[in-house]
Amino acid sequence: MLIRENRPAINYLDSYRAHYGVQEDVVIQRLEPLTDEEGALRLTLACHRPDFCHFQFSANDSPLYSSMDNTFLIRFGKQRTWKGKARPVYDGGAGSTTYEIAITLKTSQEYSAGGDQLPTRFDVQITPPLECESRTPESWGAPAPTQEERRFAEATWGKHLKGAKTDYAKAQALAKALCHELWPHNGTPLPELQYYSAFEMYRAMMSGKSKGFCVQFNMIFVHACKCFGVIARNMHIERPVRYDERCWVMLHGMHTTAEIFDRTLNRWIFTDIRFYCLGVYLGDEGPLSTGEFHLFISQPYWRDRLRFEVYDMATRKVKRLPMKDCPRTDIHFYSGWNTVFHVGYE
């Protein structure tokens, strides 16, 4: 996390974007001054499209050239402004977007001459704007299912997913099926179940060998999603008041939930089959990620606008309900500013 002069800061790069990065074609991979050359900058771009080949670059109106390392080395000399262009090239040819780059430099010596004791400053403008690279949704896919697990999932739940076109639709179909299968086996799991794989947990519960709580419910759901090509991850939730070597103090216990990534919507989506919940909306906007849901449920101004997509197991219908009408009244567990989410919990 970047800290400047001990000033208080809200940094969504570290606390939100690091966990909620979406699929982006072009991003900034590196933007840093050269350590061995004063007044010089390195800019490296990245493209995550599978058909990407390389970037074409141009500096100060020079002809475009193909870069093999996707890196600009930007040197100013006596000039204090620099302009360049970058364009991605794909298997089918050059992309339709050219990124215009404008950089200005003011050195610490120039600041000092004007009476200000400030460090060297580079101001970078990129049009259209680019974000710094974050963790991609695909990187949360570990551990990947084995071929045997994929065959098991297809044989067990494949019939429920027929006709589901999007990642979210597949996840909803799985969640409904698992609600009916797992809830009859709700209860305290055997201690050794913590060492089982997700589908070993499923077999133990379905055979009557063990019962299961939120950990088992959502670990089975997440791994089943992965078997059908849906990016998914578990989230372990705590509300700690105190962590130290002597003791831990927690509010309202712990919980495990899940998120799936829908490639059509290009966003993470909260899902929790322990709450019969297939998604959360703010009014008609959504579905929300767990981070967004937590942000809004923790604020009285927004809380009453939340609407929950609740699966009614008796009627097999989905209802959109306000929090006060949800069958699990303890869904308020997700509120609280000291809540901690351990993302990718396995």
Domain segments of the chain as ranges: 26-134, 139-343
Average pLDDT over residues 259-269: 97
pLDDT band with cut points at 50, 70 and 90 for residue 159: very high
Task: State the pLDDT at residue 2.
Answer: 65
Residue 204 has pLDDT above 90, yes or no: yes
Average pLDDT over residues 259-273: 97
**Token representation of residue 40:** 């010089």
How is domain 139-343 classified at the CATH fold level?
A: C8orf32 fold (3.10.620)
CA angle 178, 181, 186 (to 5 degrees): 100
Task: Determine contact, residues 122/33, Cβ cutoff 8 Å.
Answer: yes
Average pLDDT over residues 281-291: 96
Residue 120 has pLDDT above 80, yes or no: yes
Quick one: which of 315, 44, 300 has its CA closest to 179?
A: 315
Residue 251 has pLDDT above 90, yes or no: no
Mean of all residue pLDDT scores within the chain: 93
Task: Determine contact, residues 210/190, Cβ cutoff 8 Å.
Answer: yes
Strand partners, 250: 240
Task: Determine contact, residues 189/210, Cβ cutoff 8 Å.
Answer: yes
Task: State the pLDDT at residue 112.
Answer: 93
Task: Determine contact, residues 86/113, Cβ cutoff 8 Å.
Answer: no
pLDDT band with cut points at 50, 70 and 90 for residue 78: confident
**Token representation of residue 151:** 């065959």
At 282, phi and psi to the nearest 5?
-100, 100
If one counts every other C-beta atom within 10 angstroms of the C-beta of residue 23, the result is: 14
**Token representation of residue 141:** 């896919």
Task: Determine contact, residues 289/268, Cβ cutoff 8 Å.
Answer: yes
Q: Give the integer Cα–Cα distance in Å for 233 and 49.
A: 22
pLDDT band with cut points at 50, 70 and 90 for residue 17: confident
The one-letter amino acid at 111: Y
Residue 253 has pLDDT above 90, yes or no: no
**Token representation of residue 109:** 């010596």
Residue 221 has pLDDT above 80, yes or no: yes
The burial class, CB within 10 Å (0-12 / 13-18 / 19+), for 206 is middle
pLDDT over 70 for what percent of the chain?
98
- As a dihedral over the C-alpha atoms of residue 295, residue 312, residue 255, residue 208, rounded to 10 degrees, the angle is -170
**Token representation of residue 137:** 């949704």
Task: State the pLDDT at residue 135.
Answer: 87
Residue 1 has pLDDT above 80, yes or no: no
Q: Does domain 26-134 have CATH number 2.60.40?
A: yes
- As a dihedral over the C-alpha atoms of residue 262, residue 280, residue 142, residue 131, rounded to 10 degrees, the angle is 60
- Lowest mean pLDDT across 231-235, 252-256, 300-304: 252-256
Residue 55 has pLDDT above 80, yes or no: yes
